Structure 1
Amino acid sequence: MMKLDSQKLLIGMANACITITELAEKSNVSRPALTKFTTGKSNPKPATIGKLAKALDVKVEDLIERGE
């Protein structure tokens, strides 16, 4: 199962110089959902992780936790 790494998501946002609101608009993911993802309260579906990666112009692998 893929698990979003909230720290990596925040780093991606910082690298892209965008806010949660801007990421919501670019990724078509709601702002409340993004807030849950960045605080680790919720884990998005793989398709949503894909949308976030595309909006940030990074690979999905750059946003998920590494398996052991």
Structure 2
Amino acid sequence: MNRKKLFALMADKGLTQADLADKAGLSRTAIYGVMTKGRKPTPPTLGKIAKALGVKPSELLDM
């Protein structure tokens, strides 16, 4: 996952990690793991994060 892109999208939308977790229907621990620990999200989790940010999942991947 491209964490720089994730942080930039969150900043653009004024979202905190807690906001993103709530909006994506995920635990705060899951968001924290992806953002801070660099954990690779599962495809369903990636999809939820992307949907919450209004982007395609592929836009969050390191490609």
Q: Would you call these one fold, judging by a TM-score over 0.5?
A: yes
More helix by share: 2
Q: Are 1:54 and 2:51 counterparts?
A: yes
Contiguous gaps of at least 5 residues in structure 1 = none
Gaps of 5+ in 2: none
Q: Partners of 1:8 and 1:40 in 2: how far apart?
A: 16
Q: TM-score, normalised by structure 1?
A: 0.83
- The TM-score normalised by the length of structure 2 is 0.89
CA-atom RMSD in angstroms? 1.1
Query: Which of the two has higher C-alpha Rg?
Result: 1
Q: Is the 8 A contact 1:36 1:42 kept in 2?
A: yes
2:15 to 15, 18, 40: 18
